[in-house]
Homo-oligomer: A and B are copies of this chain.
């Protein structure tokens, strides 16, 4: 696995459980136990996913020894979003072409 920051961010996002953890943390801080609950996953398994997210800088663990709640840090997502930006033109053009095609088909259908 490549260890440049952007590659680590994308690799961290390449798993549905990790994306679900981020989406839970977007609502607010949560403990490892709270994060494990909806996935019916073992704590070690959730901890492994959290380590990948922490290494990518997407999750930060609190310092309170007892609870150590996890919180989202969206900064690495901003870099990923910025990488994506120039490609937006491509799929927007694609969508525009599709709309045009549908409009033409509708015209042809009319007598």
Of A23, A74, A75, the most chain B CB neighbours within 10 A belong to: A74
Bound CA–CA A74/B87 (angstroms): 7
- Measured as residues with beta carbon below 8 angstroms from the partner, the interface class of chain A is 20 to 34
Q: Kindly report which residue of chain B lies nearest to residue A4, judged by CB atoms.
A: B16
Could you say which of B1, B74, B81 contacts A14, with CB atoms under 8 Å apart? B1
The A interface, classified by DSSP as helix, strand, loop or mixed, is helix
What per-residue 1/0 map shows which CB atoms of A86-99 lie under 8 Å from chain B? 11101100100000
Are B87 and A77 in contact (CB-based, < 8 A)? yes
Of A7, A10, A26, A75, the most chain B CB neighbours within 10 A belong to: A10
Further pairs besides A10-B14, A81-B91: 7, Cβ < 8 Å: A2-B14, A13-B83, A19-B83, A74-B94, A75-B91, A77-B91, A78-B94
Instruction: State the A residues within 8 Å of B (CB).
Output: 1-2, 4, 6-8, 10-11, 13-16, 19, 22-23, 26, 72, 74-75, 77-78, 80-81, 83-84, 86-88, 90-91, 94
